[in-house]
Structure 1
Amino acid sequence: MSPRPLSGSSAADAAAVGREQTRQRVIEAAIDLLTRGGRDAVTTRAVAEGAGLQPPAIYRLFGDKDGLLDAVAEHGFATFLATKHVDPDPRDPIEDLRAGWNVAVEFGLANPALYTLMYSEPTRATSAAFKAGMEILMGRVRRLAAGGWLRVDEELAAQIIHATARGAVLTWLSLPEDRRSPALLTTLREAMVAAVTNQQPAVQDAGPAGAARALHAALPEQTTLSGAEQYLLREWLDRLAADG
């Protein structure tokens, strides 16, 4: 009995799956070349040979070599994203910050060529996986802020955390092996922690009510607001504190 021919939609689905499998095979071949020989080793001919394809297939799938490298970087961001652990309610938010920073640095040190490619082009910040990773970081920063631990605004804190991790990896990779001291990574991490967090939470009780009480207590010491503005803010803070 001959097999029943695929319907139009089934044939299209099978073709899409086959295309994605081929695309993944090309990306893996490119990563292998990148890891063994650096960016210069990633030529369309070498990648095609590694994937068992003809060079024109690379252009059909990715447009050009730059498109292929962008796809490799996106794969790197997605792989990195999969290593991130999200704890929505960490027992110690400062240790959670350290752990997240360590994960980022460890990924870079374990995948030096891929990591360098991922962060070699500013335009790769548009990557969907990169954005998802930054949302995880912003969530960690918001939890610090809500607990009264943050000493700078959230956007600046996220920039400092991201920049120090990336800088730590790229600096480490630029050094000769005999000059790579683990103390460099530890010192940079602790400098980051000191730059973005307080030693003790400014708000003892988490949540809007605790923050309102802390701000209410500090209000008489500031001179930025006028008397009328202070009166209005105090009324709002009283309402928020009462809700707690």
Structure 2
Amino acid sequence: METTRDRIIRAASRLLIESGRDAVTIRSVSAAAGVQTPVIYRLFDDKTALLEAVAGFGMREYLADKDALGETADPVADLARAWDLHVRFGLARPDFYLIAFSPAPADHQPDSTVRQEAVTGLRRMVERIAAAGRLRTSVERATHLVHAGGVGVVVSQLALPPHERDAGVSATAWNAVRREIVLHDHPPTATEASDLVKSHAGALRQALAGAGALSRAETELLTEWLIRISDHHA
């Protein structure tokens, strides 16, 4: 059953889609939803809180579509499809998107539940790439690069008139991000994975000589472990 809060959000969403952000005022929303303005203030405090709820409502459509993508045996291809979906949604629903992904004013912390859910979902996709032995950098850095790249593409394209937008920018940006985060174009074989681990262990062993973060005993113990790994023959 639709609540008063739901009705207000849906009315505001229609105004946002049809007439833009400036058309979403407390007065216009109260008229469209058939409620008194004090009701809106009681439920949302102010216009900013209302817009955040509206953005969350719009983003639910994106998150549902993202979940519907499912998973395949290739986590990199899955991430590429999610990237394309992200860009398509942002360009198709700019008002929802810009509210959801714009930085919050210093004096106002937004309800970022939906946005955080999107980032959490992205991180899970990156973790699958790492689990497959195909991630070049840390999960944290890769998640940040993909998120920043996707948002950057959408925001930069939205800043242009529709007839000036370059459909190839998204693919170019994805390929650049992909090169930064993906180590292998295909899942590594057992031998390749073993060689990679041994190579990294050897490099870390060499780097320990100039590191001062560990005590002598800790350095000796870690060095012993790295020697075992780098000299191990599978």
* Letter in structure 1 aligned against 2:22: D
Give the direction of change, closer, same or farther, for the CA distance of 1:185–1:89 in structure 2 (3 Å limit): closer
In the alignment, does 2:98 pair up with 1:116? yes
User: Does the 8 A contact of 1:62 with 1:68 survive in 2?
Assistant: yes
In the alignment, does 2:22 pair up with 1:40? yes
Deviations 1:5-60 (A, max 9, x none): xxxxxxxxxxxx6xx61111111111111122222111101000111112121112
The whole-number CA distance in structure 1 between the counterparts of 2:167 and 2:83 is 14
User: Does the 8 A contact of 2:101 with 2:115 survive in 1?
Assistant: no
Question: 2:198 is matched with which residue?
Answer: 216
What residue ranges of structure 1 are gaps of 5+ in the alignment?
A: 1-16
Secondary structure of 1:85 counterpart: helix
What residue ranges of structure 2 are gaps of 5+ in the alignment?
A: 210-218
State the superposition RMSD in angstroms. Answer: 2.9
User: Does the 8 A contact of 1:25 with 1:51 survive in 2?
Assistant: yes
Provide TM-score, normalisation by structure 2: 0.81
The whole-number CA distance in structure 2 between the counterparts of 1:88 and 1:230 is 42
Counterpart of 1:163 (choices 148, 151, 171) is 148
The whole-number CA distance in structure 2 between the counterparts of 1:53 and 1:87 is 38
The whole-number CA distance in structure 2 between the counterparts of 1:137 and 1:237 is 33
Counterpart of 2:129 (choices 144, 160, 175) is 144
Deviations 1:137-173 (A, max 9, x none): 1111111112221112111110111111111111111
Provide TM-score, normalisation by structure 1: 0.78
Give the direction of change, closer, same or farther, for the CA distance of 1:200–1:177 in structure 2 (3 Å limit): closer
Shift of 1:61: 1.5
User: Does the 8 A contact of 2:201 with 2:230 survive in 1?
Assistant: no
* Letter in structure 1 aligned against 2:96: L
Secondary structure of 2:208 counterpart: coil
User: Does the 8 A contact of 2:133 with 2:188 survive in 1?
Assistant: yes
Shift of 1:101: 0.6
Structure index of larger Rg: 1
Count of matched residue positions in the alignment of Structure 1 and Structure 2: 219
The whole-number CA distance in structure 2 between the counterparts of 1:88 and 1:224 is 41
User: Does the 8 A contact of 1:29 with 1:50 survive in 2?
Assistant: yes
The whole-number CA distance in structure 2 between the counterparts of 1:155 and 1:53 is 45
Give the direction of change, closer, same or farther, for the CA distance of 1:79–1:238 in structure 2 (3 Å limit): farther
